[in-house]
Amino acid sequence: MVSTGLIIARREEMKDRPEYDAVVVGGGPAGSTAAYLLGETGHRAVLFEKRTYPRDKVCGGCLSQKSVRFLDRIFQLPVDVLRRERLLDFTGTGYALYIGNTRIFAEDLAEPVYFTRRGRYDAHLARMAAQAGAEVHTDTEVVAIDHARRTVTTSDGNRYSARVIIGADGIHSRVRHSLPGSVVDQKHWHENLGWALELVIPRSEAEALVNGDGAIRLDDGLATPHLVLAACRWGYGWVFPNRDAIVVGIGGLLRANGKGLPERFEAFLKTIGLSAFAGQKPVGYPLPLGNYIPTPAHAGTALVGDAGGFASPLLGEGIFYAHRTAELAAHAVDRHLTAGAPLAETYATLLQRRLIPELRAEMALRNFLYGCLDARMQVPLTAFMRVTRSRVVDAVQGTRSFRGFFRDDDLHSAVW
């Protein structure tokens, strides 16, 4: 059922739908951010989400400090409001990092990371998009896109026209697949496509059975985020705490792991002392790990978030990149609608100035770290990580850049 207070545009029997400034396909963080910003700036936007809120979304749910600052800056949702609205499910004040079974370090964080439950998080942002003036249609899937006519056809048989189409429909994006083949470098996309397996374990069950036989002993309260490099090839394993559960997963480049991830996941459960849950089937899903599209737009269509391959190449963090690309795309759409600026070129320019260099630098770090692990260069890698760990954490949190680890307070600043 729909979250209380969510303003939903109900389906109506209409032969001709009015034209919109923008059609947004997909109601996750990227789609809701784009619809919210376009509504705030006076544009007529409509958002289509194929499921009904609140809907489950397989995701570690990690909110770094850069995500939290974004929510404050764009949605006026500071941490105290996020807590009041129950959008923060857990607060991580430290972390533990391993290479295989060896603990490299465990320490407190200068600023915490937070964990959210995507069902509540996504529903709240969609409600805010509706309150900003966007129409939000749930249980309505976009089944066809006509880029020449700038129309989309929905599962209820209606056709909607718009001056701009924004694809925020995830890693399997129908909007992306409908674009000309020249937009996506398929070799780059598949070489850097990740795959993850994840299991949500009720906290009470995990606490009763943890640390029975594991080489890695989790903290007694299951309150510390654990990251385990080499749990799979070109990727890592994680244990993320939530209020009522823990989220256990592994994820890495698909080309490096092939079909071996299920066996590695079982081995990871044993390593962290949770082999009792090896009989449960994890959920598998693809994720971007560096396969971002440098120019994710064509004519009047732009891709944001996972649809454009935008996520952290190192950790797979996607929520911030969904928000940030949607902000950049919404600004490009506004310039296109109000001043006639070419959409694709404007969006691509914003990405090149505000995001792509950071992703390239992070990808270089990813290649170095996992290349060292492949070459069994654990000793020099451990030394490097001990020296750089505070700067890497700052870059993940958004107070430093991955480009040389210099401080950059404007890295995630507003574009309006």
Name which of 343, 363, 400, 358 is nearest 38 in CA terms.
343
User: Do residues 243 and 223 make contact, with C-beta atoms less than 8 angstroms apart?
Assistant: no
CATH number for domain 193-288, candidates 3.30.9.10, 3.30.70.2860, 3.40.50.620, 1.10.3860.10: 3.30.9.10
- In degrees and rounded to multiples of 5, residue 315 shows phi and psi of -115, -10
Gap between the Cα atoms of 40 and 38, Å rounded:
5
Give residues with Cβ within 8 angstroms of 159, minimum separation 6.
17, 151, 152, 153
pLDDT of the residue at 383? 92
Residues of the chain with CATH 3.50.50.60: 1-94+113-185+292-416
Give the fold, CATH level 3, of 1-94+113-185+292-416.
FAD/NAD(P)-binding domain (3.50.50)
pLDDT of the residue at 8? 44
Two tokens at 262? 């299920």
What is the value of pTM for the model shown?
0.93
DSSP state of 318: -
User: Do residues 316 and 288 make contact, with C-beta atoms less than 8 angstroms apart?
Assistant: yes
Residues of the chain with CATH 3.30.9.10: 193-288
Give residues with Cβ within 8 angstroms of 37, minimum separation 6.
74, 132, 326, 327, 330, 331, 334
pLDDT of the residue at 4? 37
pLDDT of the residue at 2? 41
Alpha carbon distance, N-terminus to C-terminus of the chain: 36
- In degrees and rounded to multiples of 5, residue 42 shows phi and psi of 90, 10
pLDDT one-digit tens code per residue, 81-99: 999 999 999 999 999 999 9
Task: Spell out, as residue ranges, where the chain has pLDDT lower than 50.
Answer: 1-16
Cα dihedral 31, 32, 34, 39, rounded to 10, equals 140
Name which of 114, 108, 379 is nearest 219 in CA terms.
108
Two tokens at 406? 């210099």
